[in-house]
Amino acid sequence: MSALSEARAPAKGRSLRPVPMLIFGSRWLQLPLYVGLIIAQGVYVVLFLKELWHLFAHAFDFSEQQIMLAVLGLIDVVMISNLLVMVIVGGYETFVSRLNLKGHPDEPEWLSHVNASVLKIKLAMAIIGISSIHLLRTFIEAGALSSGKGNYTETGVMWQTIIHCVFILSAIGIAIVDKLSNDSIEGAKQQVGH
């Protein structure tokens, strides 16, 4: 650490001046947002149980395609719930306060190296996974397009596919920008080291 950054960093235990303390303390305004997401996750648990009961109650009535669509719906709920966990835990750890889970047997593997950049990429991948499930459900139901009995139109299927491809291209773009950023940081560190 350079002498300039050491001079700017407050000593441990030393309090901040009022304005920096207010600015730094404002991160706690995000706490109700994360609590709200926890409540939303509870709603998804109720939705999952409702869908699971619906599948169980109609296990002998449903066709194979209906069972597959119901199972894809369950997977969709689980993937959205996983996305919520990543946002809640990763976002809180990154933007609000440390969770101090080091050494805890249930510490998520990905949390040890989470930062805003890693969180963006993980969220992009989760969104692509969720979009893939929706697209697969659409393709399964698209078989009824020719009969006119389906819930989708050809235009709707086309737009859903285009939006999915945009999600993929966005994730690739985020990953490339992140790699270029990390490479430039590493290059700067190597120049300082020489």
pLDDT digits (tens, 9 = 90+) for 153-163: 788 888 999 99
What token pair was written down for 27?
């991160």
Cβ-Cβ contacts under 8 Å for 191 (sequence gap 6 or more): none
Please give the radius of gyration of the chain, using alpha carbons only, rounded to the nearest integer.
23
In this predicted structure, what is the pLDDT of residue 4?
43
Average pLDDT across the chain, whole number: 82
User: Looking at the predicted structure, is the pLDDT value of residue 9 above 60?
Assistant: no
Q: Parse the chain into domains and list their residue ranges.
A: 16-97, 115-194
What is residue 26's DSSP assignment? G
Report d(CA 107, CA 21) in Å as an integer: 30
Statement: residue 6 has pLDDT above 60: no
Check pLDDT > 70 for residue 12: no
Q: Are 152 and 141 in contact (CB under 8 A)?
A: yes
Q: Please say whether the beta carbons of 76 and 140 come within 8 A.
A: no
Contacts of 54 (CB under 8 A, 6+ apart): 70
Please say whether the beta carbons of 127 and 83 come within 8 A.
Answer: yes
Range with the poorest average pLDDT among 90-94, 95-99, 105-109: 105-109
pLDDT in tens, 68-78: 888 988 998 99
CA distances to 79, 124, 126, 129, 160 from 135, rounded to whole Å, are: 14, 16, 14, 10, 7
Q: What is the structure's pLDDT at 86?
A: 86
The per-residue pLDDT for 87 is: 87
Per-residue pLDDT reduced to its tens digit, 122-154: 788 888 888 888 888 888 877 666 666 667 778
